Each structure stands twice: as C-alpha cells, then as structure tokens.
Amino acid sequence: MWKISIWSPTNKQDFRLSQTCNFFFKRLLCPPLVISIKDLSTTSNSHTPNSTMAKIKELSKDTRNKIVDLHQAGKTESAIGKQLGLKKSTVGAIIRKWKTYKTTDNLPQSGAPRKISPRGVKMITGTVSKNPRTTRGDLVNDLQRAGTKVTKLTISNTLRRQGLKSRSARRVPLLKPVHIKARLKFAREHLDDPKEDWENVIWSDETKI
C-alpha cells in the first residue's frame, strides 16, 4: 500500500491519498509543492516469486547410523525422532532402508533405460557384421520400421558398446571402361609369368617414390 503526502501553500493541509487516487490527484486546484512517497508495505511483501526454497540438508552418515543403533536398542520411531530432532517419516525411511539393504549409505541410481532393446541391439549388430558398409542412417530406418525411434548418435554409442567402431571407406578413383579393358589385358598377358619376375616389380600404390 502506497501513501502520498501533498502540501499546498494555501491551506497547508496534509492530504494522504492512496495510490489508486490518481484521478483525484490530477484534479487538485492547488498544485503540490512537495510530494513524498512512503512505502508502507509489510515485510511479507519482501518475498519475491523468484526466490527458491532452500535445499533439504542430507543427514550425515553418523546420524543415520545412530538412528539404526537406537532402533536396535528398542526405541520407537517417534522416540528416535524426538531425541534427534527429526521427523518420524525421516526416521522410518532410514530404518526401512537399513532393513532392506543392510546399509544406510546412498544407493547408486539405476539411470535411464536403454533406448534400444536387447533384441534391437542384436539386430543392428548382425546387420553391421554381415554388411560393414551399412550406414547409421540405414540402421535408424531399420529400427524405425521396427517401432523404435533413435538418433544416429544412439546408434554409434550402441555399436561402440558392442566393440564395433565406425570406419570411413578409402576413396579410390573410379575406373572407366577403357581402364577396365587395359587392366584385364595386362592380367592376361602376364598370367603365366613366374613368381621371380614379380619380386622385381615395385608397385606404385605400395611404395613412396
């Protein structure tokens, strides 16, 4: 709630108007000389919507072990909570955890399930083993037809876990029909050459010249 104090030189009367009285303020006959605005808001309004709640403090290992010790000593959950200044539900959760897992430590999280089922992994692994030139896009389409929608990155991670790594095929020059005929002619001409003759040949694709 806002209040406005207006002082006029003629009547010297103090008018206290709320913020909603702008209509009356504009129609005053005597123009104001001094306007002082006082914020009369309470401390409860100081809380902003952007303020976040404090994170709940995790119980120390000693406190959790003490809860178990008191439980084994025969004390109830309510008595343990009053003694340690904890809620009954918190004490009960620690005791149930100890009864189930025989420990009060934080258990490892299971994480998100795999996007590709074991059957799908077997399918794409078999496809890649039979045809190493299969692309990730082909595998994505195969799984999508089977009802599983995944990305290429998921395909790569899945194959890597199976011990398969991607490789880029070596680029080779395309052979024209004239090249094919020339190579075939060369092979036929030297088909019966002895092995000793080939030992004296230096192949340009295997040697740096």
Q: Over the stretch 147-181, which tens digit does the pLDDT of each residue have?
A: 899 999 999 999 999 989 888 777 877 888 999 99
Residue 208: its pLDDT value, please? 58
Two tokens, residue 193? 């050459």
- The greatest distance separating any two alpha carbons of the chain, rounded to the nearest whole angstrom, comes to 129
Tens-digit pLDDT profile for residues 128-138 = 999 988 999 99
Q: Is residue 10 part of a domain?
A: no
Residue written as token pair 């039979």: 130
Two tokens, residue 143? 């799984």
For 143, counting Cβ atoms within 10 Å of its Cβ (0-12 exposed, 13-18 middle, 19+ buried), the class is: buried
* pTM for the predicted model, two decimal places: 0.36
Specify whether 93 is located in the same domain as 123: no
Q: Is residue 106 part of a domain?
A: no
* Structural domains in the chain (count): 2
Q: Comparing C-alpha atoms, which of 162, 130, 127 is closest to residue 141?
A: 127
User: Cα(103)–Cα(88) distance, rounded to whole angstroms?
Assistant: 19
Q: Is residue 44 part of a domain?
A: no
Q: CATH number of the domain at 87, please.
A: 1.10.10
Q: Is residue 140 part of a domain?
A: yes
Q: Is residue 150 part of a domain?
A: yes
Residue written as token pair 């005791």: 95
> Average pLDDT of the chain?
76
Q: Is residue 169 part of a domain?
A: no
Specify whether 127 is located in the same domain as 157: yes
Positions of the chain with pLDDT under 70: 1-56, 205-209
Q: Is residue 125 part of a domain?
A: yes
Domain of residue 135 covers 118-162
Q: Is residue 129 part of a domain?
A: yes
Q: Which residues contact 91 (CB under 8 A, 6 or more apart)?
A: 67, 77, 80, 81, 84
SS3 4: strand
